[in-house]
Structure 1
Amino acid sequence: MPVKILFIGDIIGKPGRQALSRELDRLVDRHRVDLVLVNGENASGGFGLTTETAKELFDLGVHGITSGNHIWDKKEQVALVLANPRIVRPANYPEGTTGRGGMILTTPGGIKVGVLNLEGRVYMKNLECPFRTADREIELLRQETPVIFVDFHAEATSEKSALGWYLDGRVSAVVGTHTHVQTADERILTRGTAYLSDAGMTGSFDSVIGIGKEEAIHKFLTQLPVKFEIPKKDIRINGVVVSVDEESGRALGIERIAVSC
């Protein structure tokens, strides 16, 4: 039997959380989803994640939360947030960094799903190599399950595509996050890995990738720091549903999700 994984792209602040509250149950029912994953690094005020926000997401029916470079933004909350075994940060941060980069979740039907979070290096931080980190982490996850979902939080499409091909046949899915713009290149690669360059975002599309238009434009014009606001109009949910064979871990299907709320 296939296991269906719903992955929701970067949730932006309260409007994104409210959209999930309204639509998640319908999405789960419509697509017969077994496991719900979200990228939550922007879920609290648009930057970072708090324990209260994480609890809100879990109470909605989310099973696991991935993240990225903004997971550190609520500095006073980081240790508490990443102590939760259902929340991961990119695995390729240096040894000794708070938190973990991978986790094993179990669906209500008893199927184990490995989740791996990685961060890109092109136009981003000079972290450890995500490719070599993936080699190590996948080896550990595969000891428990062949079903493995990878959230690759990266800027460059080329880096995301390269990792997809590098992991083809070793993981069930490689789905990108971080740009907040959903791409239209979903496919199953040659050896059975589902791939999408970016899942998109869940928040206001009356915005610049989820933040206020005026503030973003002002920053580009002046190059000065500004306080970003989170708009509340034209709220949409972006994400992807991946169907995976539970025995082999090979992807059987991939479908982009785009819902106006």
Structure 2
Amino acid sequence: MLATFEQAALEAGKAILEIYRGGYAVALKQDLSPVTIADERAEEIILGHLLRDFPDIPVIAEESVAAGRIPDIRGKSFFLVDPLDGTREFVEHRDEFTVNIAYIYEGVPVAGIVYAPAIGLAFTGEAGNAEKLVIDENFRITDRAVIHVRLQQENLLALASRCHGSISTDDFMAENAVTACTTIGSSLKFCLLAEGKADVYPRFTRTMEWDTAAGDAVLRAAGGTTVMLDGMPLNYGKTDQSHDSDFANPNFVSWGGRQRLAVA
């Protein structure tokens, strides 16, 4: 499965970079979030690969959902696709945007890829094995290295969203002995945890499942965890939610090595 993910992500990333470097038009979706032709082209490429290799597995993809194309995934395994995570970074010409593809089995992200085409790095995770991939200018994988989370020290290094901070996040930092914080866009936060470069990523503003699933899959494969505020693992395939739309996530905290949680 990861072979398909890698092929799809690399091809989508190539298309995204062509648009990124050549200029692009930006529109707003109904929720006022930005969307570009790069989102749409990348999703088309990824869906083509998944349909070819896994025709019986439904796909929940961000732009398809926005267009009202939502397959019934209740009781099924399925794919989650965010063709361009970090569209704001893309629009503001920061290189932190990613291509995200994940496979969900019984509510758990068991395989995923996060590819940052402008940086030339990708991260994969499946069956307890997580890797960091180096991608060259010809979109070929030139190196693979196994990655693991690090054991947490007494003082924690946290990661926070560049565009979605909150007072709750600041409170969490104070209550959990966080001594330093790095801001970064997109699902790369999960990947930094997975390769042992940070300890915790608290998220107390809204996300959707396609935003988090691929990075979460990489993190879990590297030995980390993502939990809701009640301590239970974040699950996927959330439909018929009375308090929010389908596939919306609750607040969560992602950890590297050892889980610690103090939330008021």
Shorter-chain TM range is under 0.3
TM-score (norm 2): 0.27
